[in-house]
Amino acid sequence: MKKINSLLLLIFCFTMALGQKKKQKPLPPPKVEAIKPSVVEETNKVSDIQYVSPPALPNDHINIQKPNVIENLNLDSNAKKCACDNVLIILGADKFGEGFTAKDFGLRGNVKNIKNVEKRDTLVGYSETLSKGNTVEMTFSKQGFLETYAREMIDKLSQSQGFKSFSQAFYNDKNQIISTEIYLGDTKNLMAKNLFLYNEMGFYQMQRTDKDNKPSQTRITFECFKTDKTFSVIKKDVDKARNHETNEMYVFNNQNQLVKKQEIFNNGGNTTKNKTSAYVYNNLGQLTEENFLNKDGTIRNYLHHQYNPQGDVLKSIYKDGDYILYDYKYDNQNNWIWKRKTSYEKSRYGNEMEIDERLTWDRTILYY
């Protein structure tokens, strides 16, 4: 019996040992199943794309471009169109002291030839004023009309000859200017011509051509208007090549004195400059005030003039207190033959006045 029990115990232990060995065997590797790729639907169709507008910004961050504005000349609404018959006054309106007659330059007597030599005082002022010796020479007819105008500009650095030009004016039997010729260097090098055209309303257009007689892209036209007290000229200068346009208005009183000037500059369909000046004269016909106006008509700046007994400007004063002094020497016709202009301005370091620039002119005059 003990033997049977021992045998049964041995069989049980052996069976348990075999079971433990079976548990220690590694498991077979898992089966790998093929994974089907997911199908991606096409989304490049127009109907499948949605456009979403960006969120709106606050008003103060939106850059709204202002529309172009063309400003107009302030012509008197009562003015009526008339003939442009006083051509020389019209052409000389934009520059005081210069024009097309000897009287425009304030000359007395029957002047034949005049030569001005400008010299700059290199001991005062700034470095850009170091040029000296610039000359202007003019000749006049016996009737007092400008015939030739020559200018020579001296180079600022080398003191040698720089720019030199020569212009000649031609008139008809009515003393109307009909053309000018402009030369560079000498009379062999024609650069341009100005033709002055007339119709039943008088002077109406200035046409420029190059040396080959080809018209330029610039066209200058004139229209004139009258009221009981004023004579106004509208000058329109159009440059098609650069898309520029300048409109100017000159207003004269019954004494043919320029009392107002307005200039408007348009660039690319937009007004970039609009400035107006007004002028006042004394009972001797001398210009005493040049007033530079704001758009509302108030004075932005001014230049007031005082005169000596000969009728030449003695002192000019600006609104801010800067001023210019003039000194003269005269010939026996009471035309100046030497002039000095000294400009004073407030020092940048204080209220003391200091010389900004000093110029002198020597003038030689020949008479008929």
Residue ranges of domains in the chain: 80-367
Q: Is the CB of residue 86 less than 8 Å from the CB of residue 256?
A: yes
Helix (H) or strand (E) segment spanning residue 307: strand 299-307
Higher-confidence residue of 50 and 100: namely 100
pLDDT-based confidence at 368, cuts 50/70/90? very high
Mean pLDDT of 68-78: 87
pLDDT of residue 64: 61
Tell me the backbone φ, ψ of residue 122, rounded to 5 degrees. -80, -5
pLDDT-based confidence at 151, cuts 50/70/90? very high
Mean pLDDT of 190-211: 91
pLDDT of residue 310: 94
pLDDT of residue 52: 56
pLDDT higher than 70, residue 33: no
CATH 2.60.40 fits 80-367, yes or no: no
Tokens 């200039």 belong to 263
pLDDT-based confidence at 67, cuts 50/70/90? low
Average pLDDT, the chain: 83
How does pLDDT run across 104-148, given as a tens digit for each residue? 899 999 999 999 999 888 777 655 555 567 899 999 999 999 999
pLDDT of residue 72: 87
Q: The whole model's pTM is what?
A: 0.75
Lowest mean pLDDT among 37-41, 49-53, 76-80, 259-263: 37-41
Residues 6+ apart with CB under 8 A from 197: 203, 204, 205, 206, 207
pLDDT-based confidence at 18, cuts 50/70/90? very low
Percent of residues, the chain, with pLDDT higher than 70: 76
How does pLDDT run across 226-279, given as a tens digit for each residue? 999 999 999 999 888 788 899 999 999 999 999 999 999 998 878 889 999 999
pLDDT of residue 96: 63
Higher-confidence residue of 84 and 57: namely 84
Higher-confidence residue of 8 and 174: namely 174
Q: Is the CB of residue 247 less than 8 Å from the CB of residue 75?
A: no
Residues 6+ apart with CB under 8 A from 235: 90, 220, 221, 222, 246, 247, 248, 249, 250
Count of C-beta atoms within a 10 Å radius of residue 262 = 21
